[in-house]
Amino acid sequence: MKKISIIYGSTTDNTREAAEKIAKQLSEFSPQLKDVSQCSADDFTTAECLILGTSTWGSGDLQDDWYEMLPQLKSVDLSDKIVALFGLGDAGSYSDTFVDGIGELYEFFTEKRCKIVGFIETDEYSFDASRAVIDGKFVGLPLDADNESNLTDERIINWVNIVKQSF
């Protein structure tokens, strides 16, 4: 069975809670669940599949702890990794930079030659612009705990079912 690590950056715990729900849906894989602030590069290299989560802060920035981690991965070979991305954002107050953090992780891990899986149609979401939309699709799972927390569980279940098939 594939080794899965779920690694998240979270400031007010919304992304952490989503990561815990994702871990529960993948319990048959016994995934490792880690806060990125507690991680070293080894946490990224030991798993075959990585599920990476970030909230978006500032005006379209990654959650702070990711900015500490990414430079440590610059010279690490991750080209054999399958990566799925998720992110928390607020489409009401930050409609022009909705879940941009997912887009920033996508750019970084694409450059690392990882295989990114788990793209999502945009139809269900109401927002103006997002760096996470490429060729008309979100490059990971957007979640909005500020406005649509009632949809979170269903969105996670559906997405995990898609992602599992790529693992």
Ligand X SMILES: Cc1cc2nc3c(=O)[nH]c(=O)nc-3n(C[C@H](O)[C@H](O)[C@H](O)COP(=O)(O)O)c2cc1C
**Contacts to ligand X by CB under 6 A:** 10-15, 55-60, 63, 88-90, 94, 97-100, 145-146
Closer of 28 and 123 to ligand X (Cβ):
123
Closer of 25 and 63 to ligand X (Cβ):
63
Closer of 79 and 150 to ligand X (Cβ):
150
Q: How far is the CB of 75 from ligand X (least distance, A)?
A: 28
Q: How far is the CB of 62 from ligand X (least distance, A)?
A: 10
Distance CA 32, CA 35 (A): 10
* Reduced 3-state DSSP string for the chain: CCCEEEEEECCCCHHHHHHHHHHHHCHHHCCEEEEHHHCCCHHHHCCCEEEEEEEEECCCEECHHHHHHHHHHCCCCCCCCEEEEEEECCCCCCCCCCCHHHHHHHHHHHHCCCEEECCEECCCCCCCCCCCEECCEECCEEECCCCCHHHHHHHHHHHHHHHHHHC
Q: How far is the CB of 150 from ligand X (least distance, A)?
A: 14
Q: How far is the CB of 32 from ligand X (least distance, A)?
A: 19
Closer of 20 and 77 to ligand X (Cβ):
20
Closer of 131 and 164 to ligand X (Cβ):
131
Q: How far is the CB of 114 from ligand X (least distance, A)?
A: 22
Residue of closest CB approach to ligand X: 89
